[in-house]
Structures are given as C-alpha cells and as structure tokens.
Amino acid sequence: MRVFLLLLATSGVALSSPLLLLFQDQAVLMNDVSVDGTRTFSIPQGWDVMDVLGASSWYTTPEKKTYWEDIVKGKAVEIVDEVPESCELVSLSPLVLKKGSKYYLYNTTLGKWLAFVYREPEKAEKKLVVEGQGEITILLHSDGSWRAEYYLHDNLLMGNVFLSISGVKNAEVFLVSSPLEENVEKVFSISRALEASQELPPESFEAEEVKVYHLGEVENLDRSPTVEFIRVTLSKVNEYYLYELNVNEKSFDYQMTTFTKEFKAPVDLPKGFVNIFSKISGVYLIVGRTSIDDTPKDTNLKLPVTSSWDVRVKGDLLEEKKYKDFYERSWRIIVQNLNEEKAKVKIIVRGRGLKITSSSLEGYKAFSDHVVFETTVPASSEREFEFTVRSRW
C-alpha cells in the first residue's frame, strides 16, 4: 500500500486541489503542503493518517477518551430500575444510554441504572503534528464509495456519478473500479503511468481489470454530490429482437425474444447501471435497466431491454444424424412479428465446432462456437428459414 501511494505522490502531477482516490469501499486523500520546522494540521472528522511522505517525523494527537465513571462522580444521580424506551446508545463499555439531556449509566455492582443530567463537550479535533523541511505529502484514508448510473433516451446517453464521502470539501477526484485492499498490486502500474505523465492524466488508465477514471475537480464533496460526467448523442443505436438456442436442443414451441439496444461506447465508461427509456404515449418511461462492466471506448455494448412476446421464435428440428466425429442437424426457424411495424431479429445458434453446410437465409455470420442469423420480419407477419449445421460431440 505504501509503495503504491509513494509512486503516486512523486508523480509530478501538478494539482491545485488535494487528490482524492475513491475506491468502491474506501477513499485515499493526498495533500501536498510545505513545512518549515514543526507544523500542526487538523485531520478531517472520520479520516485517519496513513503516512506523511517527506517528513522527518510525525505523530497524531489522540482524541480525548470519555471516562464515564469519572464524569458521574460528584453529580446528583437517581438510581432507577429501568430506563425509558427508545434510548440512544452512547457507550457499550461501560453501558451508557441517553434520552434527551439525561444519561443512564449501568452500575454492575448495584445492578441498577444511575440517571444524571450531562452535557457532552464538543469533540476535540484530531491533530497531525509534522516535523520537516520543504514539500511533504499527507496521506489520509477513510470510508468512501461511488456508483455510476446511465440514462439512455433514444440516441442520447447521459451518465452521473454518485459520490459518498465526508470531511472533504474540494478535491481532484479519481474513481477506481475496485476495492482498495483486493487490487493494490494491480493499481501499481496505474501509479507508474501517473509518475511518467508529468501532467494531468487522460480520462482513464488501465491495469489489468482495474480502471481509474479522472472525474476532475469536484466541489462540495462533503455533501455527497452527484456529478454528470457524460452527455453525448450517439451516432448510431441498433435495435433488434434477440433469441439464442443451443445446437443440441430439441424442437421447441414459440418462445419470447429479448428486445436489445446496441451501440459503441463513445468514451471509456465506468461500470454501473444503464436505465433505458422509451417514449410511450408521448412520455419517456423506463422500460429496462441493466448493468455494464468497465467498458473501453468503441466497445460494442449490447443492452437487453425487455422480454417480448410480440416477436417470438419457434424451432423445429427436422433431422438429426450422428457421425463418427460430429452431429449434423437440420433446423426450421419460424419468427412471428405481432407488432404493427417491421422488426429486426437476430437468431444466435451456439455449439462446438460449428459449420453451416446449407442455409436458406443468406448473409449469416459463422464462427466456430456460434452462428448469427439476421432477418427483418414485416409487420403482423412471420418469416421462416432452414439451415443444416454440423457440430462436434
């Protein structure tokens, strides 16, 4: 962990604000400051010091501990058998409850509660005391998280990031698509990329499965803001009905298809959820919601929207032959379109070592493990095609 942060801190990246790395479950805050001798810093509430890079020495002043046995001494107390309902838990050791301005301390010797009036003082800030000369980097860590939500209206794609952090107002924010503890080694290469850049990095760095996204400078972080990071009109969104079958299946009656939207990612997209809207009776309504993984730019995104009986598929296994090294099967596929407009349909046949020997539908795409048939079915009609395919056992 320390090596990773050291590489980041010596990256040469010039930032006017503290740098905030938001992981899925934690946050790391880096702040470059100058010292000349001894200097004291306030630590934001909820944050702890990880390290101070470049300092001769450093230490934190401990928060003042509350000793309830000492507080109750000299106070007028009332001994009671029970406490009021819906009390607030203040301490477990010793057991202290609170109701309004009244506190209840359980006395194990008496087996009863000591009730007294008490006003808690404001908690003293935790302090960091640093000894050194010149530039230092203060590294803090705390709980924190983020999530991405996308909204697709026809060809318009919007994306928001919901940030959860406390104790920090402004920072240059980087989103890391992994838990902090599980993927430290993978993030090393990202930090090395930062070290070599000598300037603010591009939108994202990639190290195996870990992605880092530069969100930019964000204000009012302590209010858990929502930040829009993408709003773009997609050049093309393909819409079609999808049905998949295994070549080893037997004949099947009509089955639902999946209405699907497909487009190329316009930029690197953090993993999150895509909410898909469709205009119904003049109003945009959510008709589907699906998750996506971290998606590099120009990657095809296939989003299942909803299952549909309006476009359905039936399969008849016409013939099946078994040879020494392969099977040969002949299929008839019937596609019904009950919509009042034409429908584009994709049929994907999956198997091992597939080879099409004949097909009544032209323009199919054959691969070793799947074959893609595409057809357009006119409104309120059906279309059928036949094919013969060989597959390995």
At 305-333, the pLDDT tens digits run: 999 999 999 999 999 999 988 999 999 99
Cα 199 from Cα 28, distance rounded (Å): 20
Taking a C-beta distance cutoff of 8 angstroms, is the pair 84, 91 a contact? no
**The residue type at 308:** S
CA distance 28 to 50: 9
In a domain? residue 278: no
pLDDT of residue 44: 85
Q: Percent of the chain scored above 90 by pLDDT? A: 63
Task: Give the H or E element holding residue 374.
Answer: strand 370-377
Q: What residue numbers bound the domain in which 212 lies?
A: 2-60+126-144+167-228
**Are residues 220 and 113 located together in one domain of the fold?**
no
Q: Are 258 and 331 members of one domain?
A: yes
Query: Do 370 and 319 share a domain, yes or no?
Result: yes
* pLDDT value, residue 36: 93
Residue 286 maps to a domain: no
Residues 185, 303: one domain? no
From CA 104, how far away is CA 338, in angstroms rounded? Answer: 71
Domain match, 334 and 256 both: yes
Q: If DSSP codes are grouped into helix, strand and coil, which group holds residue 278?
A: strand
- Residue 159 placed within a domain: no
Yes or no: say if 369 and 247 are a contact pair by the CB < 8 Å rule. Answer: no
Instruction: Yes or no: say if 105 and 113 are a contact pair by the CB < 8 Å rule.
Output: yes
Residue 155 lies in a domain: no
Nearest in space to 357 (alpha carbons), one of 302, 383, 319: 319
- Pairing of the two strands 238-246 and 343-350: parallel
Amino acid at 6: L
Summarize pLDDT for 174-197 with one digit per residue, the tens: 998 877 655 444 443 444 444 445
- Is there a single domain that holds both residue 248 and residue 348? yes
Cβ neighbourhood burial of 181 (10 Å; 0-12, 13-18, 19+): exposed
pTM over the 0.85 mark: no
What 68-73 contacts at long range (C-beta under 8 Å, 24+ apart), as own/partner pairs, is: 68/94, 68/96, 68/105, 69/94, 71/118, 72/105, 72/114, 72/116
Nearest in space to 356 (alpha carbons), one of 325, 329, 323? 329
Residue 351, in any domain of the structure? yes
Same domain? 178 vs 300:
no
Tell me, yes or no, whether 97 and 187 share the same domain.
Answer: no
Residue type (1 letter), 339: N
On whether the CB atoms of residues 366 and 356 are closer than 8 A, the answer is yes
Buried b (16+ CB within 10 A) or exposed e, 295-324: beeeeebebebeebeebbbbbeeeeeeeee
CA quadruple 191, 196, 202, 205: dihedral sign:
negative
Q: What integer pLDDT is reported at residue 392 of this predicted model?
A: 87
161 domain residue, yes or no: no
Q: Does residue 154 lie within any of the structural domains?
A: no
pLDDT digits (tens, 9 = 90+) for 26-83: 899 999 999 999 999 988 888 889 889 999 999 988 766 678 888 888 889 999 999 9
Mean predicted lDDT score pLDDT of the chain: 86
CA distance 187 to 195: 13
Quick: pLDDT tens for 109-168: 999 999 999 887 766 678 899 999 999 999 998 989 999 999 999 999 999 999 999 889
Same domain, 24 and 88: no
pLDDT at 207 over 90: no
* 3-state SS assignment for residue 188: helix
326: domain CATH number? 2.60.40
In this structure, are 321 and 382 located in the same domain?
yes
CA distance 220 to 143: 17
Residue type, 52: V
3-state secondary structure at position 7:
helix
Q: What is the model's pLDDT at position 64?
A: 62
The Cβ of residue 198 has, within 10 Å, a number of other Cβ atoms equal to 10
Is there a single domain that holds both residue 40 and residue 186? Answer: yes
Residue 109 belongs to some domain of the structure: yes
* Distance separating alpha carbons of residues 346 and 258, to the nearest angstrom: 10
Beta bridge partners of 354: none
The two structure tokens encoding residue 183: 């993927």
239 forms beta bridges with: 261
Note whether 111 and 182 are same-domain residues: no
Q: What total number of domains does the chain contain?
A: 3
